[in-house]
Structure formats: structure tokens, C-alpha cells
Structure 1
Amino acid sequence: MKKSYCLLAVSLLVFSVFTLSSCRADIKWTKYENNPVLGGADLGTCFDIAMLQEDGKYKMWFSWRPKKSLAYTESKDGINWSEPTIVLAPNPDSGWENEINRPSVIKRDGVYHLWYTGQVWYNDWSKSGSWIGYATSTDGIHFERKSDKPVLVPEKGWEKEHAVMCPNVEWDADAKLFTMWYSGGEIYEPNAIGYATSPDGLVWTKYKNNPIFSCDKNTEWEHHKVAGGHVFKHNDWYLMFYIGYENEHLARIGIARSKDGITNWERLPTNPIISPTPDGWDAEACYKPFVIYDAKEKKWRLWYNGRTGNLERIGLVFLDGADLGFPKH
């Protein structure tokens, strides 16, 4: 019996050493020293972005709360941004988009495709709602709605018949389908992440086993909710950079990965990667990451919303090298 215990202890020690060495606990994301890079001053709250890297510059579509609209700005370095231009304003007559926000933008065959969140708020939150709409543009600035009605609505139990939001859309060239990861649940902060597919961007089929990603009840920093994932294919994995909520008001950012983007999500052992800075501009929450990897520079850039009080602004974080810190399989 003593021999068995000794063998077990040695095995656990070897496993622990292997895990610590293989998951690169020394990897550290570094916040830009002059954050935030957008918002505040005359712009007010700027949050929940989508980006493309084209023509030697970064193109950003962001949620502009004072205007209740989506706006566009661009930058050569990801730090200094041009004067914003509104690209899609709300349509109160629609009955579901008194304000719009949370864009997802991809470019395919010369056309910019935009999915966005439309919201209606009431003093009674149980009557408020959130839906997802779709628009296109040939220049990325002048968008035309493809439907007066939302293309994705809250109807499933886990969506609480209340809110779907935060679309994150990619084009799957092999399957010839648009693929969407979206958040659903309560309207103030959604609860989990679901998956849907569409051949045309208008008609969507939700995955039968949604949600595909839910909070880890045994992990304090994200035991309350998860939402706002940025999902994309990188090498042999789908990566998800997501928001984890310790409670309704305290949020951090973590990473998970999956071979198919739907099942068997593996969280980074050293999560969270980004947390609020005490007494900083992001002292209360870090939300909604958007990530771009520069293969030439071998550098990750991550933009996110930081919040203190009711003000949200956009900040930037860097990671040098390609290694995110996952264990080697």
C-alpha cells in the first residue's frame, strides 16, 4: 500500500511539473502605457468593436453609446484613430432597434457584411429585448439593411426569450457557410455563448446543443457568466477570447480553444489574461476583446473595453511571440 501511495505521489508531481512547464505561466499580456486609445473626452462611451486589417491600416467599427449608433474609424498603428463617422444609425420605427451596437464585420467578394445588435430598453427590464440584424456595404461606411426584421431572435430557454447579442461571424469556405458565435440570456449582461450557421447571412440555423460555451461554476473569476467571445481559426485551433464575469459588474478576459469551434473547449490554465487595474481607467471591468495576430511581427494585439463607473473606453494590450501559453498536445 505504501508503495502505491509513493508511485501516485511521484506521478502527480511529474504531472504538475509537466503542466506548469508546458503551459508557459510566464507569458504576460502587457497593457499599452497610454491607454485608453479611444473614447472619453468628446466621444463618451465607446465599446464593443469589430476590426479588419486592410490596405496597411486598421479599420474599426465600434459601438458609440451617446449616438446609439455604430461608427467607423481607422488607424495606421492601432493607437491613434481618425475622427469617427456614423455608419449605421438606429431605426426606432422598427420596434427592435431603438439603439444599435456590438458589430461584427467581415469582407467577402468585395462586400462588407455587418451583423449588429438592436436593442429596446424599458424601465421594466423584463420587457426589454435584444436582437441581431444584418446589413452590407461596398465601402465599409455606407451600409444598407438586408432585412427590416432581425435575423436572429431569442427563442430558446437558455436565451431566456430575452436577448441575443454580440454576433461574431466568420466565413467557412469549406462548408460555404457563415458561422456565428453569439451571446444569449439576460439583456444587461448575457449568460452564455451559442453557435449558428447560415448560407446567406439572413437565414440562420442554431446549433442543436446550444449553448456551446458556459461559465465554469468552479472558477471564481468566471463562475457567474461568460459572453462576448471573439472566435476565429488560428492554425489548427479555433481560439475564443471571451469575457468572464465574477459577478454582474466585475469582468475579466480569458482564452479557450477547440478543434471544431463548437465542442470540447479547453481553457487556458493561466486565465484570466486581462484584469482590471486598480484605480485605473479600467478599474471595474475588462470587456469584449477583439484580437489580431501579426505573423510578420510575431505579435498579438488585443483591443478591449475598460470600464470605471458608467464610462467605457477602448484600450490595447500586446503579447510578443506566437505562443499563447496552452499546453503542448
Structure 2
Amino acid sequence: MMHFADNSRGKPYSKDPAVVRFLDSYWMYYSIPSFEDGREQDGWAIGIAVSEDLHNWKTVGEIKPEHAYEKNGFCAPGAIVWEGSIHLFYQTYGNGPKDAICHAVSDNGIDFVRNATNPVFSPTGAWNNGRAIDADVIIFNEKLFMYFATRDPKGEVQIQGVATAALNSGFGRDAWTQACDDTILEPVYPWEGQCVEAAATCKRGDKLVMFYGGAYNNCPQQIGCAVSDDGIRWERLFTEPFLPNGEQGSWNSSESGHPFVFVDEATDRTYLFYQGNNDMGKTWYLSNVEIVWEGHIPSVKK
């Protein structure tokens, strides 16, 4: 079983995975926290690891702050390969309702050039508080769909929204059109608490399937699943968590959360990456399970 954590901060700690196939290897981007080894606190950043088999990972670098909008940190990457480059969509951190989505691009997987218009997206409308975090992007119906988490106007309940951009747009601030005038997914079931976040989408035929984190971290967050015909209107597939937290004593007893779904086109196999811990967030590890399908209905491969 994959069980990975970046130790560059003095303890095993990696959150919010995103995985792509690039330059004949697998690349994983993830959140890492401020330094804890005596150096100056410099906010969250994004770590980079590479694998040849999706199970054994080697840390190869990190993306550090470069601009004023990143000074409080940045994290929660979403990634896609488009026209030979990795496009990374990530959130600013520590700015409350002013946190927004940024965009950067890389030709080698390690060095990223920021979009000159960053931050590129924040939601509008009376249904949200202006915040945008946890970006997930997918090509669907000849557009780039970007899913994001925001909060209700009081800033209490985490909910989902979506925006779209033309594929030839460069994905800058003027490229995005908010595709909803209300939340597309909000907490409904008791296990989802006050939070639906971290959308993770993939295509199945002419449908989109979304995995998502339900409930705030360590409440416990668990992973749910929904389906859509148009990328905007969603219907849950299950009333209970698709991937629950682990039993007492297991490595993920505090949480199985913040999913990312990776479809390996080289093998036509699907993997659900997620974060977990058993100490209420003092450490964080990343893992994955393989998903098998019956049409658009997923299950964990046994």
C-alpha cells in the first residue's frame, strides 16, 4: 500500500495530493506546512514527488513563494497536463474570504511560471463569501471545468462551485466564467457535517464522476461520490461515505479525506489518492486505492 509523507518540515506531513503522468513518470504535487526546524515561518508551500509505479515516491523539490499574493503561503494544488505542459491551479492561504485560485505552468515539472494575472479566480454572488480554494480541473465538453470550494455568506459552511474557461484562453483572470449562480454541492448527510470540499473529477463515458471530502478535517473527513451529465448539476451516488476513515488503531483512523482521482491513460486504470492520519492532524500521510467501474458506478478494488 502507498504510504507517503514529505519529511522536509521535521515531521511526516503531506496533504492535498494531485497526480499527473508527465515525461514518462508520475508526478505528485501536495501541500506542505511552514518550517518547524528553527527557520523563519514562511507559510504553506507545495511539494513535488516523482514515482515510476504510483506507490513508491521520491521527493524532488518544492514550489516556494515568489509574489506578494503568496506571502502568507499557498497550497491545495490541482493539476492537469495540457499541450505538453503541467498546469497547476492552487490557492492562496491565510487570507480568509480573500483566498483565491492561482495558475502556473511548467515544462519540466519542477519550475513553474506564474500566470501574470494571478489570482485568476474568485467567485461572485450572494450565495458565497468570495473565497475560492481546493481547485480541481478537467477537460469536459471542449472546455476546462474548474471546481472550487467556497463558503456560505457567513463563512461557516464549505460548499462547491464551478467555473469554465476556453482551452485556448491561457487560463488567466479574464478567461473564467462562473458556471453556477448557487452552490452545486453542499452538505446534506450527517456524515458530511458542515463541509463539502476538495472535488476530484474524472470522465466516465459522457458523464463526470466527482469524489469529494465530506466534513471538516478530522471530524472525521470521509470521501463521498456524485455524478453529473453536464458538470453543473450533481446527484450523489451513495448515502454513506464511499471511502470512510479507518478503524481505531489504523493509520487513517482520524480521516480519509481530500481526494484526487487519477486516470492512468497508459494502463486505463483509475486511482483515488487521499490524505489520512491517526493523530488528529499532527502528521499527515498520502495513500491511494485502485477504483474499478461498473459503468459510472465506482468501487474500491479488493
* Structure 1 residue 248: Cα displacement: 7.3
Aligned equivalents of 1:189, 1:139: Cα separation in 2? 39
Corresponding position: 1:139 with 2:108: yes
Matched, 1:157 2:123: no
By relative contact order (CA 8 Å, sep 6+), the higher-ranking structure is 1
Moved more, 62-71 or 72-81: 62-71
Report which of the two has the higher share of helix. 1
Report the counterpart of residue 323 of structure 1 in structure 2.
Answer: 294
TM-score, normalised to structure 1's length? 0.75
Structure 1 match to 2:276: 306
| 1:272 match | 241
Give the C-alpha shift of residue 226 in structure 1.
0.7
Measure how far apart 1:152 and its partner are: 1.2
The match for 1:118 is 92
Partner residue, 1:80? 56
Which residue does the alignment assign to 1:289?
259
> TM-score scaled to structure 2, two decimals?
0.81
- 2:270 maps to amino acid: W
For 1:50 and 1:315, how far apart are their aligned partners in 2?
12
Structure whose CA Rg is larger: 1
How far residue 272 of structure 1 moved from its aligned partner, in angstroms, is 0.9
User: Per the alignment, in what secondary structure is the counterpart of residue 157 of structure 1?
Assistant: coil
Identity %: 25
Paired letter, 1:197: T
- Tell me if 1:233 matches 2:209: no
Equivalent pairs, count = 280
* Secondary structure of 2:293 counterpart: coil
Q: Which whole-Å CA distance do the structure 2 matches of 1:272 and 1:96 have between them?
A: 34
Residue 66 of structure 1 pairs with residue 42 of structure 2:
no
Change (3 A) 1:154 1:266: closer
Q: Which runs of 5+ in 1 are unaligned?
A: 1-31, 122-126
Cα deviation for residue 157 of structure 1 reads 3.2
Cα-Cα RMSD = 2.9
5+ unaligned residues in a row in structure 2: which ranges? 36-43
Q: Secondary structure at the match of 2:230?
A: coil
Q: Compute the displacement of 1:256 (Å).
A: 0.8
Paired residues for 1:134-283 under 5 Å: 134-147=103-116, 149-161=118-130, 163-172=131-140, 174-175=141-142, 177-185=143-151, 191-199=158-166, 200=169, 201-202=171-172, 203=174, 204-216=176-188, 219-245=189-215, 249-263=219-233, 265-269=234-238, 271-277=240-246, 278-283=248-253
Contact 1:99–1:119 (8 Å) recurs in 2? yes
CA distance in 2, matches of 1:112, 1:250: 32
Q: Report the AA paired with residue 290 of structure 1.
A: F
For 1:242, give the aligned amino acid: Y
Q: Shift of residue 96 of structure 1?
A: 5.3
Instruction: Verify the 8 A CA contact 1:96 1:118 in the aligned structure 2.
Output: yes
Query: How far does residue 280 in structure 1 lie from its aligned partner after superposition?
Result: 2.3
Letter in structure 2 aligned against 1:160: N
Cα distance in 2 between the residues matched to 1:239 and 1:96: 32
Change (3 A) 1:97 1:262: farther
1:5-44 equivalence runs, <5 A: 32=1, 36-39=3-6, 42=10, 44=12
CA shift for structure 1 position 102: 0.9
